[in-house]
Amino acid sequence: MGIQLTILGCHSATPRTNAHPTAQYLKINERHILIDCGEGTQVLLRQHKVPFAKIKHIFISHLHGDHFFGLVGLISTFGLLDRRTELHIYGPKGIKEIITLQLKLSKSWTSFPLLFHELNSTESQIIFEDKKISVTTIPLDHRVYTNGFLFQEKEGQRKLNMENIIHEPEIEICDYHNLKNGKDFTKQDGTVLENDDLTLPPKTAHSYAFCSDTAYKPDIVPIIKGASLLYHESTFLEDKKNLTERTKHSTAKEAGSVAKQAEVHKLILGHYSSRYKDLNQFRLEALTEFENVELAESGKVFII
């Protein structure tokens, strides 16, 4: 169990020497995930020593270049490295055509199964689920079709409370499985031992909500309610609030407001416009709405 989020790039629009476009590496409950993939992401993965061959799922929020222009290069590199493990790409309809056209014209078919899961629903939906995690879309409000993603750990099994079990000789090892799954134990004399007395609660399941790019959209609050960690874009400060309508981006204050309404544990800001030199202004502005705010920066790791 646990979340490890590595920020690779967190700036908007054009890649510059020290301002990389959006990409994040997420390790959650033993699953290795890449979220967005701006130009240069594969170099950042190497720089930050991410074990990127382990990435099996890539989620692309939308088809603006600063969120996906690095994807085809990463896929090609996986091919050059003779990857064999399957790779799943989740993103807006059209992403398959973009990637396969380029692979076709470069005669660079991959050595591994490359599986696309194209999205076009405007309703929140579960798009991936296994024993360890689930991934749910967070429909956002941007100039093109855009989803955020909620990554959730599945709740683990209950843990055996051996201090109590040891006093019940009728309980054998073969009963542990049922106990971990929350079942009570019935003794031969008919006495029922309640599960709560024989087990301890499972480890807390954590969740991470990624929301970029979007205008202020409070109707996502129910989807991300109580998330352990929320990344919410803050392209602007309130001084440029007049630009948010046309560009469909948020201010740091609005990001803070969403975090407050959703009662998340921590807010991470990012997707800063290049017009701002002092990024700490973003944090100060969001702090007026919500108390636990950190700034995304390339190479920063958040661990829960």
Min. distance of Cβ 50 from a second copy in angstroms? 13
Verify binding: residue 84, a second copy, rule CB under 8 A: no
Give me the 128-147 binding string for a second copy, x by CB under 8 A, dash otherwise.
---------------xx---
Rounded Cα distance between 85 and 78, Å, is 10
Verify binding: residue 234, a second copy, rule CB under 8 A: no
Q: How many residues bind a second copy (CB under 8 A)?
A: 34
Q: Choose, from 66, 82, 239, 278, the residue flagged as catalytic.
A: 66
66 is catalytic: yes
Question: Applying CB under 8 A, which of residues 15, 148, 256, 270 lies at the interface with a second copy?
Answer: 15
57 assigned to a ligand binding site? no
Give me the 31-70 binding string for a second copy, x by CB under 8 A, dash otherwise.
--------xx-xx--xx---------------xxx---xx
Verify binding: residue 275, a second copy, rule CB under 8 A: no
Annotated binding site for Zn(2+): 62, 64, 66-67, 142, 213, 271
Active site residues: 66
Would you tell me which residues interact with a second copy (CB under 8 A)? Answer: 13-17, 39-40, 42-43, 46-47, 63-65, 69-70, 72-73, 76-77, 80-81, 92, 94, 97-98, 101-102, 105-108, 143-144
